[in-house]
A = this chain, B = another copy of it.
Amino acid sequence: MKQIQNLMNYRPSVKVVDATLRDGGLVNEFRFSDEFVDALYKTNLAAGVDYMEFGYKADKNMFDVNAFGKWKFCNDDDIRAVVGENDTPLKIAVMADAGRCNYKQDIINRADSPIDLIRVATYIHQMPTAIDMIEDAKKKGYEVSCNIMAVSTAQESDVKTALEMLGKSPVDCVYIVDSYGSLYPEQIQRLAAFYKTYTEQYGKILGIHAHNNQQLAFANTIEAVADDVDWLDATYGGMGRGAGNCAMELLLGFLKNPKYDVFPVLKFIEKYTAQAKAEGAVWGYDVQYMITGLLNQHPRTAIAFTKEKRGDYSNFYSETVNHE
């Protein structure tokens, strides 16, 4: 039987990463009010969250700065306006997508930046770009993590190669990413054991980023904790693309480290998460997301179904199976 004594005690190496602005930004084009962002930063501090991800360092040649809020681009000055010198235990993160980030130019030296952690996100076929990004960020002085996205559709042999490449790279943390919300806890257990053979050998941290397509984002995250995964992504109210993410309030309710406090999170969501919903942002579990999760597909069709306010789940199922 799995070692479960950690349900009563805690592992100090576990860290919580708030991805609200980044994954949540995908459902409102990153149009968060300054008040929202300021309150989120203060709440993360009060709740004992370890990392706050502000958004993407997206390539401004590729994406129109007028079509998105500022957290799609995460200028260092915009972050600085929120966190000042950030003389706090809360570390600041941004995501840099392989193939969608002008990293050599847009990521400056850590010494001159409020950012602490660069989170490189990559599909498996882009690994050489990701490795270059990791090396670049590391050379500039950052902590660096890497998300291998859509692992549920990747070949095991390719994942092995990717993990070998990451093992030999200077990356600090490798993420298990359930992009399609298709994985069950037992698969998380298998993946964690598989990833661990590499991360242990090379001295890397393991992380998890889950999606809630089958109401398993929280379950998969706490399964991962029991499998020695240390960095845990969550978002306030589960705010994130499609079915959303592991909810911060559920995760902090579960974790036993006394440094975490769920109460400020409740204060935030009753005001600001509710506000985001009132302003029209839509996310969270619904049957269309279960369907794409079940079929291990990208949620884009389910997101379109949601946008069109459709409720004909059975037609959607037929359409989705038909496109397999």
Q: In chain B, what residue has the closest Cβ to A223?
A: B185
With A250-B290, A287-B249 as contacts: A314 and B219 at CB distance below 8 Å:
no
With A270-B313, A313-B266 as contacts: A253 and B189 at CB distance below 8 Å:
no
Given the complex, which residues of B lie within 8 Å of A223, measured CB to CB? Answer: 185
Tell me, yes or no, whether A37 is within 8 Å of chain B by CB: no
Within the complex, which residue of B7, B249, B314 is in contact with A267, where a contact is CB–CB below 8 Å? B314
Task: Give, as a whole number of angstroms, the nearest-CB distance from A194 to chain B.
Answer: 11
Q: Let me know if A290 and B249 touch, CB within 8 A.
A: yes
Q: In chain B, what residue has the closest Cβ to A227?
A: B1
A interface bracket (residues with beta carbon within 8 Å of B): 35 or more
Given the complex, which residues of B lie within 8 Å of A189, measured CB to CB? Answer: 1-2, 4
Question: Chain A, 180-216, contact with B by CB distance < 8 Å: what is the 0/1 string?
Answer: 0000111101100100000000000000000010111
Q: Let me know if B214 and A263 touch, CB within 8 A.
A: no
Q: Let me know if A184 and B313 touch, CB within 8 A.
A: no
Q: Let me know if A253 and B214 touch, CB within 8 A.
A: yes
Tell me, yes or no, whether A317 is within 8 Å of chain B by CB: yes
Question: Chain A, 303-315, contact with B by CB distance < 8 Å: what is the 0/1 string?
Answer: 0000000011110
Q: Let me know if A2 and B270 touch, CB within 8 A.
A: no
Tell me, yes or no, whether A226 is within 8 Å of chain B by CB: yes
Q: Let me know if B311 and A287 touch, CB within 8 A.
A: no
Given the complex, which residues of B lie within 8 Å of A190, measured CB to CB? Answer: 4
- Report how far A269 CA is from B189 CA in the complex, Å: 32
Tell me, yes or no, whether A294 is within 8 Å of chain B by CB: yes
With A313-B270, A314-B270 as contacts: A186 and B287 at CB distance below 8 Å:
no
- Report how far A302 CA is from B317 CA in the complex, Å: 34
Within 8 A of B (CB), among A154-191: 184-187, 189-190
Q: Let me know if B266 and A184 touch, CB within 8 A.
A: no
Offer 25 A-B interface pairs, CB within 8 angstroms, sorted by A.
A1-B2, A1-B189, A2-B186, A4-B189, A7-B186, A185-B219, A185-B222, A214-B253, A215-B217, A215-B218, A215-B250, A216-B218, A219-B219, A253-B294, A262-B294, A262-B317, A263-B314, A263-B317, A267-B314, A269-B287, A269-B313, A270-B287, A270-B313, A270-B314, A274-B311
